[in-house]
Structures are given as structure tokens and as C-alpha cells.
Amino acid sequence: MADRNSPVGVFDSGIGGLTVAREIIRQIPDEPIVYFGDTARLPYGSKSKDTIIRYSRQIIRFLKTQNVKAIVIACNTASAYALETVEKETDVPIIGVVRSGAHMAAQVTRNGRIGVIGTAGTIKSGIYGDTIRQFKPDAEVFGKACPLFVPLVEEGLWHDSVTEEIASRYVSELKGKFIDTLVMGCTHYPLIRGTLRKIMGENVTLVNPAYETAIELKNMLREQGLTCEKTPEEKYQFFVSDQAEEFTSFAKSILPEVVKETKKIAIEEF
């Protein structure tokens, strides 16, 4: 049975979820974290719902071996496809990133016209629109899949003109819809926030679901009496299903000082 000083499990298809871990570390720095990145099987964004549910179940079984007290699905695609199923099967509290991002978008929009960018899977699921309308029934939500952003970010082209050109093409359609709010509905997109800001202009609010997810986690831990009181010496642990060294070096660009080493595990065995 997990206790309040056990870690929070955070998982993603790979490195992108580190943007969520970063917000959690900023907002609740005493909480220990076990992070898992499924680097052997990414991307999740182009896979089917059944596959993402199967992968998520295996990862949750692994995280349970680490005695986690709560789980954050940091991946938007896995939150879109698997959260509803796995939360019914899991005996620790589990949250995703979509609800938080949708809630924030519904709160900050002034004209009720909201754009959502994400992977093909997240956009196809329609989950952001459905969830935003739970909070704001008259909202108009326009989705756009941006499959090239993930490889561009992973190539390190965060501030490159190539990224800017592709981003302009992707979001021109959304600009034509007169949105005033844009949800960055994929773990990688906050890393190209500057480019998106430049293209969308100052009048469009950019929503980073990771930010509100960290707040939701903090509140949930408090409400359930799970806030850590005695932080263990090994506060952060990182696991992947492949390419541990590459993960460590990329992770250092997002979370310097935090990621020291990464362990590789055989996720299919869980």
C-alpha cells in the first residue's frame, strides 16, 4: 500500500512528458517522482486507441512496482485514448493532461473560439472539444493535427526558421477561425511556445495543459492526504524502454540538474 511519502508516477511516450514533470517540480518541489518514457514504442500520436490502452496498462503495472501513490498520464494522446479505461482499473488516483488543459481554455477564452493543436490521435479523438464544452457548452473548438512538430522538437529545431514555416502552415487555418485561445495539446509544443507566440500574435492566449495539471495534482494530493512530508534522498528517478543515454542528454536540456541517469527496462514484461 502506497503511503504519502511514496513517489508520483509520471509517464509519457518519451521525452515530451518532461515538460509536465518540469511543471510538477516547479509547483510541488518536495514531491518525489518516478518518470517513465516509452522511448522504444514512440510515437503514440499515430497509433490506435487499442494499442495506446495496452501500452498504458503495461506502464501502470510497472509504475505500481515502484509503489507510486498517484499517476499522471503526461502524454496527451494517452490521456485522450486510455485515461477513461485505465482509471477504472487502477487503485491509485490517476489524472491526465486533457481535462486540465480544457478547463483552463474554457476559463480564459473571451470570444468562445478555441483552437487545439495536437497529434493526429489526440485531434481525431475529439476529446479536447468534448471536454471544453463540458465547462463551456457554447464554445466553438477547432482542432488541427500537427504531426511534424514532434520530430522538429526532437531534432532540437525549437527556434529554427523551418519550424516557423511549418507552424505558419499548420495554424493559418486556425487563425482564419478568429480563435482567441490556443491549447498546446501535445507534450512537445510548449518547447516551441516562442514560435507559436510569434505566429499567433499577442492577442491569442496560449494554454499549456502541463501547468494546470501540476495544480490539479497538488490539489488532489492534498485532498487525499497524500502530500509528501518526508522527501526521500533519491527524489527523482527516470526509466525508459530504450535509448537511456540519448534520453538523459535530451532531458538535460529540459530539466538540467534533475536528470542524472536513466535506467532502461523491458516494458513488454509488465
The catalytic residues are: 75, 186
CB of 130 to ligand DGL, least distance (A): 17
> E strands of the chain, at which residues?
8-12, 33-37, 70-73, 94-95, 113-118, 140-145, 181-185, 205-207, 236-240, 262-264
Instruction: Determine whether 234 is exposed, middle or buried from the number of CB atoms within 10 Å of its CB (0-12, 13-18, 19+).
Output: exposed
Q: What is the largest CA-CA distance in the chain?
A: 52
Stretch of residues binding ligand DGL (CB under 6 A), selected from 11-19, 62-70, 196-204, 253-261: 11-19
Q: Which member of 59, 72, 106, 150 binds ligand DGL (CB under 6 A)?
A: 150
End-to-end Cα spacing for the chain: 19
Q: Which member of 6, 8, 13, 34 binds ligand DGL (CB under 6 A)?
A: 13
Task: Please report, for residues 91, 139, 145, 223, the alpha-carbon distance to residue 227 in angstroms, rounded to integers and kept in the order given.
Answer: 17, 35, 37, 9
CB of 149 to ligand DGL, least distance (A): 9
Site string for ligand DGL, 37-56 (x = CB under 6 A): -----xxxx-----------
CB of 154 to ligand DGL, least distance (A): 9
If DSSP codes are grouped into helix, strand and coil, which group holds residue 27? Answer: helix
163 is a contact residue toward ligand DGL (CB under 6 A):
no
The residues that touch ligand DGL, with contacts defined as CB under 6 A, are 12-13, 16, 42-45, 75-77, 119, 122, 150, 186-188
